[in-house]
C-alpha cells in the first residue's frame, strides 16, 4: 500500500469522525428540544415516538461509524484496502440524516400542541374563584361590596399585566 492510499484512508476515517461529531451535536439539540417541549407543551405520543426513534438512530449512527473505522483500520493494517468505499460510513451518514428529520418532525408535533398550564395560571384561577366566593358573601354590605369591586379591577389589571409579560417572554424565545 502506498502513501496516497494511507492518506485516503485517513481522510475517510476523519470524515466519519466529523459525521460522528455532527451526530453528537444533533443529539444535544434533540435533548434540549425534548426538555423544552416536554416542559412547555403537552406533546402528543407521536412527539415521544419520533424523538425516541431519532435518539436511537443517532446512537446507531455513532456505533456504525465506529464499526466502519474499525473495518478501515483492519484493512489498512493488513495492506488489503484498495480505496474502496466503506459501507458503514454511508450508513452512518444516512442514519444521522434520518435522525435529524425525525427530530424536526417530533419538534413540529410537540411545538404545535397545546401549552401546559403554568403554576401562575393555576394560582390566578384559584384567586378568581376565591374572589367570586367573597363577592357572593359580600353582596349585602355596600362598603365591602365597593372594596370588592376595587379588588376585582386590580385583579383584572394584574392578570392583563401577567399575560402581557408572558406573551413577551414567548416572543423572546
pLDDT tens for 7-50 read 888 898 899 999 999 999 999 999 999 999 998 899 999 999 99
Would you tell me how many other CB atoms lie within 10 Å of the CB of residue 51? Answer: 24
Whole-model pTM: value is 0.66
In the chain, where are the structural domains located? 3-111, 119-172
Q: pLDDT of 97-139, one tens digit each?
A: 999 999 999 999 999 998 876 666 776 777 777 777 766 666 6
DSSP string, 19-60: HHHHHHHHHHHHHHHHHHHHHHB---HHHHHHHHHHHHHHHH
- Report residue 157 as a C-alpha cell: 389589571
Amino acid at each position: 500500500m502506498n502513501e496516497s492510499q494511507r492518506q485516503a484512508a485517513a481522510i475517510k476515517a476523519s470524515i466519519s469522525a466529523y459525521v460522528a461529531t455532527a451526530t453528537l451535536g444533533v443529539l444535544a439539540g434533540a435533548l434540549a428540544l425534548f426538555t423544552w417541549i416536554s416542559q412547555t407543551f403537552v406533546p402528543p405520543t407521536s412527539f415521544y415516538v419520533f424523538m425516541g426513534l431519532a435518539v436511537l438512530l443517532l446512537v446507531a449512527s455513532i456505533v456504525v461509524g465506529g464499526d466502519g473505522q474499525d473495518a478501515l483500520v483492519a484493512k489498512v493494517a493488513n495492506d488489503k484496502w484498495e480505496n474502496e468505499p466503506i459501507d458503514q460510513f454511508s450508513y452512518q451518514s444516512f442514519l444521522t440524516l434520518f435522525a435529524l428529520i425525525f427530530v424536526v418532525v417530533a419538534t413540529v408535533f410537540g411545538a404545535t400542541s397545546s401549552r401546559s398550564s403554568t403554576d401562575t395560571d393555576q394560582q390566578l384561577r384559584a384567586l378568581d374563584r376565591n374572589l367570586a366566593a367573597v363577592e357572593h358573601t359580600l353582596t349585602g354590605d355596600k362598603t365591602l361590596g365597593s372594596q370588592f369591586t376595587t379588588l376585582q379591577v386590580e385583579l383584572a389589571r394584574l392578570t392583563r399585566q401577567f399575560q402581557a409579560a408572558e406573551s413577551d417572554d414567548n416572543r423572546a424565545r
